[in-house]
Amino acid sequence: MKLESKYNLGDVVWTITDPPAPRVWVRCTFCLGYEDPQSSFEARTVIVGDDGRKVDCPICKGNGGEHILAGRICWEVAESLTIGLVQVKVTGSSIEETYMCKETGIGSGRVYYHTSLYSSNESAQCICDMKNSILEENNVKA
């Protein structure tokens, strides 16, 4: 049996990522983020009743606001890596190809499947563009 892998030791490959979408802080419109100066907690926002009693804002739970998504999630080329370990596992009719890279640890570190690595920055960018256009289509339909 002759085993061949998509990549070899020393090959430079690229990965892609969908970084978390940026978020912005939006102040609570109910309590306006009013902070109780006597609160023993930091930045607890309260509603003060006519009788002077205070309760945590029921809308923001005393947080004064919330972080909301600002912008959409986009795929982008993450980094280039150097193959440092190649594993090809054959069981019955399935073949599993995994890699570890010098930059992320060999032996212990991140394991990459061949399907998540790309042979050039351009091919990685091409996959990102395709995934982003699918996201764009789904956003238009939603």
Binding site for Zn ion (CB under 5 A): 28, 30-31, 57, 59-60
Instruction: Compute the least distance from the CB of residue 52 to Zn ion, in Å.
Output: 19
Instruction: Compute the least distance from the CB of residue 57 to Zn ion, in Å.
Output: 3
Instruction: Compute the least distance from the CB of residue 64 to Zn ion, in Å.
Output: 6
Instruction: Compute the least distance from the CB of residue 32 to Zn ion, in Å.
Output: 8
Determine the Cα–Cα distance for residues 62 and 142; give it in Å rounded to an integer: 32
Determine the Cα–Cα distance for residues 107 and 85; give it in Å rounded to an integer: 8
Determine the Cα–Cα distance for residues 95 and 3; give it in Å rounded to an integer: 10
Determine the Cα–Cα distance for residues 78 and 18; give it in Å rounded to an integer: 9
- Please say which residue, 18 or 36, places its beta carbon nearer to Zn ion: 36
**Buried-state track 29-49, b at ≥16 Cβ within 10 A, e below 16:** eebebbbbeeeeeeebbbbee
- Please say which residue, 18 or 66, places its beta carbon nearer to Zn ion: 66
For 70, 88, 96, 130, the CA distances from 3, given in Å and listed in that order, are: 47, 7, 11, 31
- Please say which residue, 24 or 130, places its beta carbon nearer to Zn ion: 24
Instruction: Compute the least distance from the CB of residue 22 to Zn ion, in Å.
Output: 23
- Please say which residue, 34 or 114, places its beta carbon nearer to Zn ion: 34
- Please say which residue, 58 or 105, places its beta carbon nearer to Zn ion: 58
